[in-house]
Amino acid sequence: MTEPEVEIADIIFDCGDPERVAAFWAALLEQRIIGRRGPYVWLERREGVPGIGFQRVEHAKAGKNRVHLDLAVADLPGTKLRIETLGGRRVDGYESGGFLVMADPEGNEFCVIPTAPFECDEAGRADYLDGLEL
């Protein structure tokens, strides 16, 4: 088997306060902050997973993310509460899609999905929140 010619090395979050956003993600993902250089703050790398960095930018986030992370968890209500305790929030307006959409302290959106399999209909609506109290 040959090595891929292109692979994802890092995922970079643009943010106004990289220390604050990195601290949120470090706590949520249970990873240490391992580096700071110029406008960047980096989390520790894990084998087989792209690095995660936070870059200070001047302009605030505007509009919906065009790319987002899906975080798989066993305990949806517990993880939602943990995210809110760390300074994140649930994003309104996605209830009809059946996904638990959250945002970090600067509004970068991500989905929290179950580790268990779930279904999506032809319109892309997920069923994993059906009957779940959040």
The per-residue pLDDT for range 72-98, each reduced to its tens digit, is 999 999 999 999 999 999 999 888 889
What pLDDT is stored for residue 4 in this prediction? 74
- Contact by Cβ (8 Å): 99, 70: no
Mean pLDDT across 32-61: 93
Three-class DSSP category at 68: coil
Mean pLDDT across 113-119: 94
Which residues are registered as beta bridge partners of 71?
112
Confidence of residue 31 (pLDDT cuts 50, 70, 90): very high
Query: Does pLDDT of 46 surpass 80?
Result: yes
- Percent with pLDDT over 70 in the chain: 99
What domains can be seen in the chain, in order of their start residue?
A: 9-58 (3.30.720.120), 67-134 (3.30.720)
User: What values do phi and psi take at 56, rounded to 5?
Assistant: -70, 130
What pLDDT is stored for residue 24 in this prediction? 98
Mean pLDDT across 23-39: 96
**pTM of the full structure:** 0.88
